[in-house]
Amino acid sequence: MTLSLNDFHLLELADQDLVNGYLRRFPPELSEFTFTNLFAWRTARPIWLAETTDSLLFASGASGQPTGPAILFGPPVGPAPVTAILDHYHLQGAIRLPAGPAAQLRATGRETVHDRDNDDYVYLVRDLAELTGRRYAKKRNHIKQCLQNYKCTYEPMVPDNVSECLAMQEKWCEARQCQIFPGLGNEDIAINETLRHFARLALLGGVIRVNGSVKAFALAEQLNPETTVVHFEKALPEVEGLGQLITHWFARFALDGFKYVNREQDLGIPGLRQAKESYFPDHLVEKFVWSKMP
């Protein structure tokens, strides 16, 4: 390895083909490892990347060094050992490591910590598309009431209806006061970036109209041959049961070519954790953190 930290550069739209090429060759399991995710969140979470040893590396900043690569972000995409990468670049730590690379670090005496708040929830697409059995009775009831009270129709997201989704997202943010909550504000930026580049990013999208107006949408893409990852799913709160309906219809109409759907993490937010657990995940993708001792 001959690269230094100076050989990392900030991720930009022009890196799409490079990143996607590596991810096709080395299919990931982490929800963060799609070009869409890395690109859309770059305002809140800048990402640097570099190529070495037939591998692609991602790095993020650290609290004391926010303007340059300091922390390995996920494992190398490719055959480069995570231990060698950390040693060569003298990185301060590593985050979003799946179980395999974390075990490699522990084998060299480096302790890792389970980052439960960032574990990915992975579901069987069939479960969300069918909602069968007693455990989904409440979900079915919410959906039934929604369909009884409102005229709801589903359609794929296409370039022609993206502008309506952008307008809906603006309404959602007004209702949730995104401007005073940094987390929601950052998410709003990421959603807008994703929608504005919808065609170029080649995403799967679904839209629900209520009485003809867009009131819910979902965005996803392939993560690996068996799994899709849902990046965003939004429903206006004024329509009761619409949140459950978009989850159900999107799985049913858009994701039937996949066995699993990764619905990302709960960030340690109690209400979000409860909501994700209420859909009974098939499994979690565990993630770990390593920090260099001072």
Mutual angle of helices 82-89 and 99-107, in 10-degree steps: 70
3-state percent breakdown (helix, strand, coil) of the chain, nearest 5: 45, 25, 30
Give yes or no: residues 45 and 180 share one domain. no
Residues 6+ apart with CB under 8 A from 247: 128, 218, 233, 279
Give yes or no: residues 197 and 113 share one domain. no
Widest CA span in the chain: 64
Give yes or no: residues 35 and 156 share one domain. no
Name the helix (H) or strand (E) containing 289. strand 288-291
Mean pLDDT of 281-288: 98
Q: How confident is the model at residue 89 (pLDDT cuts 50, 70, 90)?
A: confident
Number of domains within the chain: 2
Q: Is pLDDT of 146 > 70?
A: yes
CATH code for position 78: 3.40.630.30
Distance, first Cα to last Cα, the chain? 25
* Cβ neighbours around 116 below 10 Å, total: 14
User: Position of tokens 């098939």?
Assistant: 282
Q: How confident is the model at residue 293 (pLDDT cuts 50, 70, 90)?
A: low
State the pLDDT at residue 233.
Answer: 97
Structural domain includes residue 288: no
Angle at 46 between CA 41 and CA 48, to 5 degrees: 120
Structural domain includes residue 284: no
Cα 165 from chain centre: 19
Give yes or no: residues 170 and 194 share one domain. yes
Kindly write down the DSSP assignment for every residue of 192-205, as one continuous string: HHHHHTHHHHT-EE
CA count, 13 A, side-chain hemisphere, 132: 7
Mean pLDDT of 5-22: 93
pTM, two decimal places: 0.94
Q: Is pLDDT of 1 > 70?
A: no
Angle at 222 between CA 115 and CA 268, to 5 degrees: 25
Instruction: Please give the DSSP secondary-structure letter assigned to residue 46.
Output: -
Structural domain includes residue 272: no
Q: CA 145 to CA 152: how far, in whole Å?
A: 11
Structural domain includes residue 252: yes
Q: Which domain holds residue 112?
A: 5-119
Give yes or no: residues 91 and 153 share one domain. no
Structural domain includes residue 290: no
Q: End of a domain among 88, 119, 150? A: 119
* Cβ neighbours around 285 below 10 Å, total: 20
Structural domain includes residue 38: yes
Q: Is pLDDT of 40 > 60?
A: yes
Give yes or no: residues 69 and 133 share one domain. no
Give yes or no: residues 124 and 100 share one domain. no
Strands 9-10 and 204-210: unpaired
Q: Is pLDDT of 64 > 70?
A: no
Q: Is pLDDT of 2 > 60?
A: no
SS3 257: coil
Q: End of a domain among 119, 153, 171? A: 119
199-242, pLDDT tens digit by residue? 999 999 999 999 999 999 999 999 999 999 999 999 999 999 99
Q: CA 175 to CA 257: how far, in whole Å?
A: 34
